[in-house]
Structure 1
Amino acid sequence: MTIQFQPTALVGAIALALGSSSSVFAETATTAKTSLETIVVTATRSEQNIQDVPARISIIEPHIIEQSPIAQFSDLLRSEAAINVVQLGGYGQQTSIFMRGTDSDHTLLLRDGVRLNNEASGATSLSFLDTTDIQQIEVLKGPASVLYGTNAIGGVVQIISKTPQKSGAFVTAEVGEHGTYKSLIGADFAENGVFAQVRGQRLESDGTKISDHADAIASNYDQKGFSAKVGLEKETYGVSLDYSENQGTSVYQGFDWGSDAYVNKAHAFENNITTLKAYAQLNPTLRADARVSRFEDRLEQLKSFEITEYTANEYELMLKQQLGSQQNLSVGVTHKDLETETNKTSSSFAQQLDTTGYYIQHQYQSDRLNTQVGYRVEDHDKYGSHEVAQAGARYHFSPSLSVYSNIGTAFKAPTVNDLYYGSSANPNLKPEESMSYELGFDQQLNSAWSWGGSVYQTDIDNLIDYAAVSPWNLDNISKARMQGAEAFMHWAQDDYFLKTSYHYVKATNEKTDTELLRRPRQTLSISAGLENAQYGLSATVIAKSKAKDWDTAQRTPGYATVDLHGYWNVNPNIKLFSNIQNVGDVNYKAAYDGSVDGVYYINGGRLASAGVTFKY
């Protein structure tokens, strides 16, 4: 990279930034600003007021996402107290999320209903996701396999993309430390229900050291992407076609057991999503929604011959029948066929899998009581059929006080790699299964103050792990239990706000009575500031306790970071903004790297940046 971050730019960033990172406001349920008007779709697959959902759900809103184009997708999730983000270094490095203490592959990631979990490995390439075209992010906590199938044991994180509401164009640029910059360009058209959108982005960073070993070097990253959308929205019908692609390269270091040394590696990535969606109001009480999508994910190791390609085609149809004024019934079918292929100098691998899910959901909605009951059958062409069910209810004692409870089962199907790839694969693996219980409340104390909390327990059976005896292949050998609680309190008056959220979880292996890896028991998030249509200043603190890592001898220390944000709308066409992520430059340890010399992956440290948006 040729761009350099100048000291004057850093001074400007600090002068502007007196507020929080792009993840502030992750907990927005039942606040004075959003409770009555916030609409979510993840909980029921259709629009619903967040105050009526019989589960804990939070929103990361558009103005938060737009605070810093440089921010990674993982940065947007960090202040969600129920999620532990583990990133092995800075930009472009491997990232996992642990929702409510469950495994990193127990959270389903969606983009407008399209599954982004690579079911060859079970993981999602969070570090390779672009944040350019996001309207809001919905975080649904708790089991959701009835509506979404595999992976949704801990919950669902869904990206809702933007749909143009008016015509216009914009250009945004942000530059920061470590030779980091991002530029965006976009245009929208919307008239009489017809809309079109186009976006382009480019991000580069010289990067930072990803581990604390003596010879570590900075690991650079570059990314570019394009997206386009066109559609028609009418009261009784609509159709849209959406395409997005994202590609780049990431440099990293890893321990090589053959040479007993750290070696430099790099990989090139490319992913794209094509989605065709349509809806029709067949009569006053019956609506049909359909989707056809294709997700392609390609990863190539640049310093050794290894190319992994994954393709998933999905087909979905849902019918929603209104039964009188207070009840509705939804039935749906989803079909997915996937292909995965890994080409290497030896041990190449290819496999295909098909799965079909059938679900039914009933909802009752009145002024005081909202209920949701569902059931799903999943037919998998390798392990057969699997069934899950869920029931929940929220009761409003008054317009300002409600309680909710839910119970549900969920599952995580064995991945293609678990079943067939490598010497440890086991084609006889069964799905991991869970049972979850939750009880919570939300209360608006007055026009300024609100608070809420919940307690939950999740039990997981048939956890897939390596057997303790020869031949040490994968098997359903473990059981786990997650017991936790969440609480939040928000205050907002005029332009000022204060938001706090706290999460506690105890995650244990029930067979060995030991802690599960990389699950800090406590997380605290506090944000405060002021914002209005012209300017805003805010700050957020995120603190986590220590966590077990690797074995009983290794523990990842706890840490606390402070993020700052500021913006100024100079006029309707120009916006200036600045951010300082991790203002104290805290180089906290993210995870033990598994080598013999006690090396830890570390975070990327401070990133101060400043930017401008011109819009028309």
Structure 2
Amino acid sequence: MRRLLLLSFTTLAAPAAHAQDITQPSAAVAETVVTATRVPTPIERVPAGVTVIDRQTIEERGYQTLSEALSAVPGVSLVQTGGIGQQASAFIRGTASRHALVLLDGVPINDVADPNGAFNFGNDLLGLDVERIEVLRGPASSLYGSGAIGGVINIVTRRAPRDRVFAPSGEAAAGSNRTLRLNGGAAGTVGEFDYLFSLRSFSTQGTDATASRFRRDTGERDGFRQVGAAARLGWTPSERLRIEALLNWRENHFGLDNVPNDDPNYSAEDRRYTGQLRVEGRPLENWTTGLRIAQTVDRRRYVNLPDSLSSASTDDTYRGERTVLDWGNQVRLPDLGPADQSVLAFGITHAEEEVRQASGSPAFRTTVNARAGSTAGHAGYQVRLGQRLDLSAGVRHDEAEDYDGFTSWRVGAVFSVPEIGARLRGSYGTAFLAPSLYQRFGRIGTSFRGNPNLRPETSEGGEGGIEIDVPLGAQRDFATFGATYFQTQIRDLINFNAGFSTLENVDRARIRGGEFSLTLRPAPWLRATAAYTVTDARDVATGERLARRPEQQLSINAAIRPIETVTIAPELIVYGRSREGAFASYRNDGSSYTVARDNKAGTVLNLTVTWQVTEPVALFLEGRNLTDSDFEPANGFQLPGRTVLVGTRFRL
């Protein structure tokens, strides 16, 4: 693996600090992100790996779900056990799925009822209310606290237009597997008030998640249905004060399988409610302060009745709630000599979490009934020196009621060399993941008890590299080359003890890798990007590769406009081999084996074509897995087969 890393850095002409997303505009246009620093900052001044997937890209590439949108992001590996609605895990830069913190408009939405605190990326659809997705790679606990070891994914919803009283929008699509997708909404501004409402509905007969190579596979499909709604109401009585409320609800119903056997009576329902009330003011010209209260409620239930294929019977319930009270501030400091654009950010966050869970058979029942709270203070500073050097630093201390607190920090720098169109970047920091309520207080019958003395999982790591724009003629950004080298050490990973009677901080991991990108803009009608990631993630004690982290991953995207009103967007994703854990490994006859083996490499080809018939109306065709690949991201679960959807959308 070391040789592969060295070869990758040698053969690519220019290393870079972050793999640039193809949606990023040309070097002449500064795209602004918030997730990376909590302060609106041009992406070229951020010292960490950042990718922005905007609304145009979501529609241009035909992304329906959050997992589809993240599948081509450098440094992010998505492993989904089937089609829409099935469990999907994101491994950011080789860290565990539970090390990815997910936000909705800045508020954490990881399900606290999940035993490890992980997020299921297969459950969320990208309705018209989603404006963009910001992906921050690398340790970010100094900004967002627990869970941000691998990175942060922030889903940012739309705002109402300021110049329209009523702006409706809608979408309808239908296609393979009896799929029907409907989205609609309206937004506008009336005097001091603004509003946004949206509704979404999706249903599909689904596909068989169980790999067809199994001899006993029956081809039973796992359907999926979702309904959801979102609302944003705002009041801006003056330039110095804004009050807004946000609400988001979605409800999923879907089928599940027990690999290696189909199970037609295994079904689930998953509900999530999120809401926040935010007040933001500017008491002084250079000081912005805000107070927010937010709550996320998750309700999940899994039911399995006996049938001819399985005698299993299950009725599992998971209920989790998180309430967050956050006070944040930004103070823009005056320029001092060569130092300008100085910003000091600070605040206090308090969170309360509660879990009630009951799952498993009566003789082996898993239960959790617990709650806990934590309080954190954070501060960050960023400044630009001599119009070339951007420096940033942040620190945060989290103090919890029932486990040891943790102080996280991060420092970073970006050095611009405009003479050659280059930007040197680097950052280093720490992060942590608090033990979940299940890990601390869960019970399994009389044989297992959680460990209230668990310590947080902690990490330390950094990244560095360069990004460079290559001109051709009068075009300054004909091509952009980039690469990042990253490494992370994770300590105190939580796992079962030798007797499986409790949990302990016993494991350590070492991760290193590289992200490389090449973006070409040879003509106004063509833009293409290739992003290549190589990852070496290993258990320190055994030297074995960590499960389900592809050693290599390549994504190629393009936007081709043969005429002004037509966009053709092909997408190719190539997954390298990955290690599979012994407890999830199956032979073709359905029997299991106890020695970890490799999942084979695979390739997925997608294509979306959009025709802008008139300024407000577009027709589109979305094709997924056009080669009908039977690639298994996780052993025993294969990709959905070839699907095609045809639809229309409008914005008035």
TM-score, length-scaled by structure 1: 0.91
Deviation at 1:103, TM superposition (A): 0.2
Q: Matches of 2:152 and 2:47 in 1, distance apart?
A: 15
Which residue in 2 is equivalent to 1:408?
Answer: 429
Whether 1:384 aligns to 2:380 is no
In 1, are the aligned partners of 2:404 and 2:455 still within 8 Å (CA)?
no
In 1, are the aligned partners of 2:210 and 2:259 still within 8 Å (CA)?
no
Q: Which residue of 56, 72, 96 corresponds with 1:103?
A: 96
In 1, are the aligned partners of 2:539 and 2:545 still within 8 Å (CA)?
yes
In 1, are the aligned partners of 2:383 and 2:392 still within 8 Å (CA)?
yes
The 5 A counterparts of 1:325-336 are: 325=335, 326=340, 327-336=342-351
Q: Matches of 1:129 and 1:550 in 2, distance apart?
A: 27
In 2, are the aligned partners of 1:309 and 1:342 still within 8 Å (CA)?
yes
Whether 1:368 aligns to 2:388 is yes
Q: Which residue of 509, 518, 521 corresponds with 1:480?
A: 509
Q: Matches of 1:267 and 1:343 in 2, distance apart?
A: 15
In 1, are the aligned partners of 2:433 and 2:457 still within 8 Å (CA)?
yes
Deviation at 1:69, TM superposition (A): 6.8
Q: Which residue of 494, 499, 503 corresponds with 1:470?
A: 499
Deviation at 1:582, TM superposition (A): 1.2
Which residue in 2 is equivalent to 1:22?
Answer: none
Question: CA-to-partner distance for each residue in 1:215-260, whole Å, 9 max, x for gaps?
Answer: 341101100001111113453221211111000211111159xxx9
Change (3 A) 1:35 1:603: farther
Whether 1:435 aligns to 2:460 is yes
Q: Matches of 1:542 and 1:35 in 2, distance apart?
A: 29
TM-score, length-scaled by structure 2: 0.86
Which residue in 1 is equivalent to 2:573?
Answer: 542
Q: Matches of 2:220 and 2:63 in 1, distance apart?
A: 22
Q: Which residue of 252, 260, 273 corresponds with 2:256?
A: 252
In 2, are the aligned partners of 1:101 and 1:507 still within 8 Å (CA)?
yes
Deviation at 1:347, TM superposition (A): 5.1
Q: Which residue of 502, 509, 513 corresponds with 2:543?
A: 513
Which residue in 2 is equivalent to 1:561?
Answer: 604
Q: Matches of 1:452 and 1:255 in 2, distance apart?
A: 40
Deviation at 1:209, TM superposition (A): 0.5
Change (3 A) 1:196 1:363: same
Which residue in 1 is equivalent to 2:12?
Answer: none
Deviation at 1:384, TM superposition (A): 2.9
What is the SS of the residue equivalent to 1:601?
coil
The 5 A counterparts of 1:35-74 are: 36-67=29-60, 71-74=64-67
In 1, are the aligned partners of 2:367 and 2:442 still within 8 Å (CA)?
no
Q: Matches of 1:172 and 1:31 in 2, distance apart?
A: 25
Deviation at 1:31, TM superposition (A): 5.0
Q: Matches of 2:24 and 2:499 in 1, distance apart?
A: 55
What is the SS of the residue equivalent to 1:418?
helix
In 1, are the aligned partners of 2:60 and 2:567 still within 8 Å (CA)?
no
What is the SS of the residue equivalent to 1:561?
strand
Which residue in 2 is equivalent to 1:596?
Answer: none
Q: Matches of 2:141 and 2:29 in 1, distance apart?
A: 27
Whether 1:349 aligns to 2:348 is no
In 1, are the aligned partners of 2:60 and 2:569 still within 8 Å (CA)?
no
Deviation at 1:323, TM superposition (A): 1.9
Change (3 A) 1:372 1:228: same
Deviation at 1:262, TM superposition (A): 5.0
Q: CA RMSD in A?
A: 2.0
Which residue in 2 is equivalent to 1:174?
Answer: 173
- State the 4+ residue runs in structure 1 displaced beyond 6 angstroms: none
Change (3 A) 1:270 1:83: same
Change (3 A) 1:169 1:217: same
Which residue in 1 is equivalent to 2:529?
Answer: 499
In 2, are the aligned partners of 1:65 and 1:134 still within 8 Å (CA)?
no
Whether 1:220 aligns to 2:223 is yes
Deviation at 1:68, TM superposition (A): 6.7
Q: Which residue of 633, 636, 640 corresponds with 1:590?
A: 633
In 2, are the aligned partners of 1:31 and 1:490 still within 8 Å (CA)?
no
What is the SS of the residue equivalent to 2:98?
coil
Q: Where in structure 1 are there 5+ consecutive unaligned residues?
A: 1-25, 593-599
What is the SS of the residue equivalent to 1:384?
coil
Q: Matches of 1:471 and 1:525 in 2, distance apart?
A: 40
Change (3 A) 1:510 1:36: same
Identity of aligned residues (%): 25
In 2, are the aligned partners of 1:210 and 1:253 still within 8 Å (CA)?
yes
Q: Matches of 1:535 and 1:191 in 2, distance apart?
A: 35
Deviation at 1:506, TM superposition (A): 0.2
In 2, are the aligned partners of 1:237 and 1:279 still within 8 Å (CA)?
yes
Q: Matches of 1:76 and 1:424 in 2, distance apart?
A: 39
In 2, are the aligned partners of 1:29 and 1:50 still within 8 Å (CA)?
no
The 5 A counterparts of 1:572-583 are: 572-583=615-626
Q: Which letter maps to 1:183?
A: L
Deviation at 1:517, TM superposition (A): 0.1
Deviation at 1:28, TM superposition (A): 2.4
Deviation at 1:533, TM superposition (A): 5.6
Q: Matches of 1:34 and 1:569 in 2, distance apart?
A: 27
Which residue in 1 is equivalent to 2:155?
Answer: 159
In 2, are the aligned partners of 1:582 and 1:607 still within 8 Å (CA)?
yes
Q: Matches of 1:261 and 1:445 in 2, distance apart?
A: 53
Q: Matches of 1:200 and 1:69 in 2, distance apart?
A: 19
Q: Matches of 1:323 and 1:89 in 2, distance apart?
A: 51
Which residue in 1 is equivalent to 2:378?
Answer: 359
Q: Which letter maps to 1:416?
A: L
